């Protein structure tokens, strides 16, 4: 199995940037399809971005502003977030799963392993 740990969250002004990291321990990260989700207060956990067999997928709300990437040698996944908006405020989670189809990547049920989350607050 794999253990995931997010870091890099914090308070940023609208229009600012943050880079989140998700470090994996245990099995190699490159065995998995991986993704970022987020959960705002009072809302369900929603899909942000995914890496699947070299392809990237984004929710429409972050397309063009966020970039997901992974360094398999460091066993670390990243989420570069630019042009942040107050509505991006949430706890951000990384997740890992196996053999996900394009139809499965946005569902929380598709992922087996989750990190503990890191808070991102966008406010002036």
pLDDT digits (tens, 9 = 90+) for 16-35: 999 999 999 988 878 889 99
- Determine the Cα–Cα distance for residues 106 and 50; give it in Å rounded to an integer: 8
pLDDT in tens, 101-114: 888 899 999 999 99
Q: Where are the alpha helices (DSSP H) in the chain?
A: none
Query: What is the token pair recorded at 120?
Result: 């991102």
Closest CA to 63 of 86, 42, 47, 45: 47
Radius of gyration of the chain measured on its C-alpha atoms: 13
- Provide, rounded to the nearest whole percent, the portion of the chain with pLDDT above 70: 100
Q: Max alpha carbon distance in the chain (Å)?
A: 41
């Amino acid at each position: 199995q794999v253990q995931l740990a997010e870091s890099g969250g914090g308070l940023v002004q609208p229009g600012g940037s943050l880079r989140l990291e998700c470090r994996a321990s245990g099995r190699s990260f490159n065995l998995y399809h991986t993704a970022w989700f987020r959960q705002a207060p009072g809302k369900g956990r929603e899909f942000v971005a995914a890496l699947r067999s070299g392809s990237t997928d984004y929710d429409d709300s972050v397309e063009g502003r966020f970039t997901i990437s992974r360094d398999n040698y460091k066993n670390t996944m990243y989420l570069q977030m630019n042009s942040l908006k107050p509505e991006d405020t949430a706890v951000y989670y990384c997740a890992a799963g196996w053999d996900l189809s394009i139809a499965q990547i946005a569902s929380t049920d598709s992922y087996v392993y989750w990190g503990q989350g890191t808070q991102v607050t966008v406010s002036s």
